[in-house]
Structure 1
Amino acid sequence: MEKHVVVIYPHPDDEAFGASGTITKFRKEGIPVTYLCGTLGEMGRNMGNPTFANRETLPEIRKKELIEACKVLDVELQMLGYRDKTLEFESRDEVAERLKGILEKIEPSLVITHYPEHAVHPDHNAFGAAAVEAVSRMDKNKRPTVWAQAISMTHIQDLGEPDIVNDITPYLKTKMNTILAHKSQAQGMISKMKQDSEDFEATVKARLGTESFYTWKF
């Protein structure tokens, strides 16, 4: 059984789409979970249809959504204040050292993050790489396991099958509520899924019912 789980993703909603079922399972088992969120996703292009936000108001909207999503998941939230779409330009060394300091205070047994170079978005790749680097710098005796999430089209071809495949259908309702808390990002996607599918529930289960990770080898 895990002692404490730390989730490290760059954007509000990464936790919802990527790991909220797994997080819910841990919380149901009484395991504390802390989410280190890198940015507020303030450079996101999704302003709603009809438009509900502009570049000035979006950061505060996404911050409120993030806080609400973390209430749904019952996790502790730490917002790290980096700027959206710039993480690839931050000093990897400085970000890794900052994350290492946080992790050494929390002392998690497991870290969940993106798999560098297989996470599609430059922020995902950069923050995942910094998280892996942070853990690699920790004392080997206190180093947590890392579950790295790959979402590129070629990840199975390049990396093989994931080590961990969690069936999260028992927690799908909580996952959907977490996604829906990020209303600015989820609204369009949910509408499109409803338009494109004859059986919405079956589509949700097929697309969102499993969460997969690779165990990072140091």
Structure 2
Amino acid sequence: MTTPALKLLLIVPHPDDEVYGAAGTLMEYVEAGHTVGVVTLTRGEAGRSLGLADSQDALAALRETELKACLEVIGVQVHEHLCYPDKYLTDQPFGPLVEVARSAMLRWRPETVLTFPPNGSNGHPDHVTTHRAVKAAWDSLPQAQRPALWYYAGPTLPEQPELQAAYLPPNVERDVSRFITRKLTAIACHRTQALSTVDFIRRFAGRMVSETFHEV
């Protein structure tokens, strides 16, 4: 039986990377009857815990539960969760990471793939490595098999000089304001990352209702 082609496939390193900048877009596609998917490369064991977990193993298990709840709120039908070490993607053999992304594109045949931009949005090494792997996988495909390639793209130039050189401005903007209640509910599933949520909303409140991307 042929698997359904996806409307949108996210390939991201951490639990919660799927929700802040794309939850509304995913919800809109699902509402329209499309199939969407997420590949999460790590279990997020090196992230913040807010005292809700007393070890990296416990945090990884908790973040898996949080991610599952978030994806259920969004309505994501396809999810693949890998166990690469959080914060150490840069140290992993690059070829297998590229193959993970390439295999996902070939198996799920997405119309569009979404990942982080060259500067990782915030410079996080896992974000940057994920970008490099997805871009290399996309480049390796025959042109006729390549999906559209989108990057997360904030609407303003980053404040940090080291991020500015690789900044790509948005050329796709999606109004997801009618999904704001569900989007906030999905974000709130990531309880361990509440400080990240507060920081994101404080700095980028407009991106709760307007999701912006750079299409390559």
Shorter chain as normaliser: what TM range?
Answer: 0.7 to 0.9
The yes-or-no answer on 1:148 pairing with 2:156 is no
CA–CA distance in 1 between the matches of 2:197 and 2:13?
Answer: 22
Shift of 1:92: 2.3
The aligned residue for residue 18 of structure 2 is 15
- After superposition, the C-alpha distances for 1:115-160 in whole angstroms (9 at most, x for unaligned) are 1224221101110111111111112111100111145716777656
Q: Secondary structure at the match of 2:115?
A: strand
The answer to whether the Cα contact below 8 Å between 1:38 and 1:80 also exists between their aligned partners in 2 is yes
Shift of 1:189: 4.9
The yes-or-no answer on 1:185 pairing with 2:193 is yes
Percent sequence identity is 26
Shift of the 101–161 alpha-carbon distance from structure 1 to 2, 3 Å rule, reads closer
The yes-or-no answer on 1:113 pairing with 2:115 is yes
Q: TM-score, normalised by structure 2?
A: 0.84
The answer to whether the Cα contact below 8 Å between 2:11 and 2:134 also exists between their aligned partners in 1 is yes
| Structure 2: runs of 5 or more not aligned | none
Shift of the 139–17 alpha-carbon distance from structure 1 to 2, 3 Å rule, reads same
Shift of 1:8: 0.7
The yes-or-no answer on 1:172 pairing with 2:180 is yes
The runs of at least 4 aligned residues of structure 1 exceeding 3 Å deviation read 154-161, 188-194
Say which of 129, 132, 148 aligns to 1:129: 132
The yes-or-no answer on 1:88 pairing with 2:96 is no
Shift of the 133–93 alpha-carbon distance from structure 1 to 2, 3 Å rule, reads same
Q: Secondary structure at the match of 2:188?
A: helix
Letter in 1 for 2:111: S
- After superposition, the C-alpha distances for 1:39-74 in whole angstroms (9 at most, x for unaligned) are 111001x222xx221223101000100111111111
Letter in 2 for 1:52: L
Question: CA RMSD of the aligned region, Å?
Answer: 2.5
Q: Secondary structure at the match of 1:15?
A: coil
CA–CA distance in 2 between the matches of 1:129 and 1:193?
Answer: 24
Shift of 1:98: 2.2
The aligned residue for residue 212 of structure 1 is 212
CA–CA distance in 2 between the matches of 1:74 and 1:205?
Answer: 23
